[in-house]
Amino acid sequence: MNWDQVEGNWEQFKGKVQSKWGELTGDDLDVIKGDRKQLAGKLQERYGTAREDAERQIDDWLSQH
């Protein structure tokens, strides 16, 4: 799967994203709106990870879906 598919179907993927990263709130997901950069930024904020680590987590998640 690629990010364009996630972005285009964000409403369907919000639950899966929140299941993977439980620290993200519903408000966070509303702000992200399918934007990968926003998701990486929120992962950095909520989990205290580096940008590269957040991007790697997103890539790993995408490869599983």
**Number of Cα atoms under 13 Å in the Cβ half of residue 10:** 15
- Assign domain 3-64 to its CATH architecture: Orthogonal Bundle (1.10)
Q: Nearest-CA neighbor of 43 among 27, 58, 64?
A: 58
- pTM higher than 0.85: yes
Return mean pLDDT, the chain: 94
* Residue range 4-35, pLDDT digits in tens: 999 999 999 999 999 999 999 999 999 999 99
DSSP output for 4-30: HHHHHTHHHHHHHHHHHSTT--HHHHH
pLDDT over 90 (residue 65): no
Query: What is the arithmetic mean of pLDDT over 1-5?
Result: 88
Where exactly are the structural domains of the chain?
3-64
Task: Find the range with the poorest average confidence among 1-5, 26-30, 47-51, 57-61.
Answer: 1-5
What's the pLDDT score for residue 18?
Answer: 93
